[in-house]
Every structure is written in C-alpha cells, then in structure tokens.
C-alpha cells in the first residue's frame, strides 16, 4: 500500500528501511524518500518504525492542526 503519495513509497519499502537499520523518520527519508515532502505520511511512517523496530523507541507525535 502506498504510504507516501508524494514520493510513491509503499509500506513495504518503509518496513525494509526499518529492518535494515533506519531508526528515525529522517533515516527512512534518506533511504526511501518517505516523509521527505509534505509530511502527511509522517504519522504512518512513525507507526511503521515503532512496529518494526520497538527498540528504537520511536515517539509518536500527533500532528497539530493549524488555527
């Protein structure tokens, strides 16, 4: 399933990045491009990181709605 529509990155690609050592959203972005543009997929990327690499202790941060 496509998670990052800007860069057309799938959940499988994000999971692969996490399994090969990516522990942060920035590292995932560097490896596959997810969460590098608009940030709309950032919560999903964080959730996948937390699932794939619990030792990384990814902190899920809710998006703030602009006023």
- pLDDT tens profile 15-51: 999 999 999 999 999 999 999 999 999 999 999 999 9
Res 9 pLDDT > 70: yes
Res 66 pLDDT > 60: no
What is the C-alpha to C-alpha distance for residues 44 and 60, in angstroms, rounded to an integer?
9
pLDDT at 59: 56
Q: Record the pTM.
A: 0.80
Rounded average pLDDT over 1-24? 96
What is the C-alpha to C-alpha distance for residues 60 and 67, in angstroms, rounded to an integer?
22
pLDDT at 54: 78
Structural domains of the chain sorted by starting position, each given as residue range(s) with its CATH number in brackets: 2-56 (1.10.10.1100)
Query: How far does Cα 51 stand from its chain's mean position?
Result: 11
């Amino acid at each position: 399933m496509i998670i990052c529509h800007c860069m057309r990155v799938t959940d499988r690609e994000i999971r692969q990045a996490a399994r090969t050592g990516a522990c942060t959203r920035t590292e995932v972005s560097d490896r596959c491009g997810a969460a590098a543009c608009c940030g709309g997929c950032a919560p999903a990327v964080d959730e996948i990181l937390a699932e794939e690499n619990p030792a990384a202790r990814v902190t899920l941060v809710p998006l703030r709605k602009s006023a």
